[in-house]
């Protein structure tokens, strides 16, 4: 990052200092080591890294195929493959450099009790914050995703809030009727921030075998194809968040500086990069430079002055 861009891009998210508004999204960079091995990468290029989704016990994940490229996007159904929270806390976290970027744990579970126990293990670790992945299916309720029911979402947030003092970031699902109402319930339950949005559900079919290409039959759609949906959801959630000074990580199909700026204008305080990393691992410094240039050209002193600056048509 250029020295003259640092002050423009620096911000605070839930009292965490970010050198850049960019957050690397969970599942896209493993536990940080996959991305930091890329030649030319600097931890200073990003504000935070969301670690891979972590469950109480180790999981092997879904059967292949797990990833399939679609027009302007990608479907994935990894199945939360991870070594379990004890291995992450005891073996992986000590290898990370916390002096430059912030690291955010991603907590997943199939029961509220599992969410609580995983969060409890991370509470005594050096991670800077905890992201709650409420898109997981609740096995006690027949597989209904926690994130698609506002009351269920709030119950997860409230339960995790009781066992940690770290900032809580709730990752909201777009696969629900009223995302703003869900956000309101999560705020009341104690969330400190939101990640908006998680993937949309999608499918791809092999026309010769007439079977789903993804081994799990369906998966999460990400990439530029979902950007217009994600932008609207950020705008809708921001209407609730601005009354409570709750920040948002806007995400969903960001691949250019223009995309990033749209999310900031819609109400995001930070922007998440995920699918774009798969074809351009060094996209972050390009987006940083573009945001800084835009701020200078428009006489803005920092990213915060751009957040929520959307002027609606009358």
* CA proximity to 186, closest of 154, 211, 216, 139: 154
Q: How open is the CA angle 273-279-95, to the nearest 5 degrees?
A: 60
Backbone φ, ψ for residue 104 (5° rounding): -115, 120
Give the three-class secondary structure for 11: strand
For the chain, first and last CA: distance in Å?
A: 39
Identify whether the C-beta of residue 208 lies closer than 8 Å to the C-beta of residue 188: no
Q: How open is the CA angle 308-289-229, to the nearest 5 degrees?
A: 40
Cα(88)–Cα(99) distance, integer angstroms: 19
* CA proximity to 260, closest of 218, 293, 236, 213: 293
188's enclosing H/E stretch is: helix 179-189
Give the three-class secondary structure for 206: strand
Q: Which of 14, 50, 136, 284 is catalytic?
A: 136
Give the three-class secondary structure for 273: strand
Cα(74)–Cα(202) distance, integer angstroms: 9
How far apart, in Å, are the Cα atoms of 60 and each of 54, 55, 82, 91, 172?
A: 12, 11, 7, 18, 25
Catalytic status, residue 136: yes
**What letter would DSSP give residue 82?**
B
Residue count (the chain): 314
State the sign of the Cα–Cα–Cα–Cα dihedral 78, 83, 86, 92: negative
Instruction: Return the active site residues.
Output: 136
């Amino acid at each position: 990052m250029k020295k003259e861009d640092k002050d423009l891009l620096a911000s605070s998210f839930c009292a965490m200092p970010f050198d850049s508004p960019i957050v690397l999204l969970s599942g896209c960079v493993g536990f940080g080591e996959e991305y930091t091995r890329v030649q030319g990468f600097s931890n200073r290029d990003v504000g935070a890294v969301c670690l891979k989704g972590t469950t109480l016990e180790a999981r092997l994940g879904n059967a292949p195929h797990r990833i399939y490229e679609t027009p302007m996007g990608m479907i994935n159904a990894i199945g939360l493959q991870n070594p379990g929270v004890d291995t992450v806390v005891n073996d992986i976290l000590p290898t990370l450099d916390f002096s430059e970027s912030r690291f955010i744990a991603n907590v997943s579970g199939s029961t509220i009790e599992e969410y609580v126990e995983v969060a409890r293990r991370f509470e005594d670790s050096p991670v800077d914050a905890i992201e709650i992945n409420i898109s997981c299916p609740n096995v006690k309720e027949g597989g209904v995703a926690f994130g698609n029911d506002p009351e269920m979402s709030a119950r997860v947030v409230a339960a995790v809030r009781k066992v940690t003092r770290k900032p809580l970031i709730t990752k909201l699902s777009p696969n629900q009727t009223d995302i703003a109402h869900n956000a309101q319930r999560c705020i009341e339950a104690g969330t400190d921030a939101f990640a908006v949005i998680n993937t949309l559900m999608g499918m791809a079919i092999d026309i010769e075998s007439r079977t789903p290409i993804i081994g799990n039959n369906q998966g999460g759609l990400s990439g530029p194809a979902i950007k217009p949906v994600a932008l609207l959801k950020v705008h809708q959630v921001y209407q609730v968040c601005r009354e409570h000074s709750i920040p948002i990580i806007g995400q969903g199909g960001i691949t250019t500086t223009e995309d990033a700026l749209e999310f900031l204008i819609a109400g995001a305080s930070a922007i998440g990069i995920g699918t774009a990393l798969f074809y351009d691992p060094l996209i972050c410094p390009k987006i940083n430079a573009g945001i800084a240039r835009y701020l200078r050209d428009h006489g803005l002193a920092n990213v915060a002055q751009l957040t929520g600056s959307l002027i609606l048509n009358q």
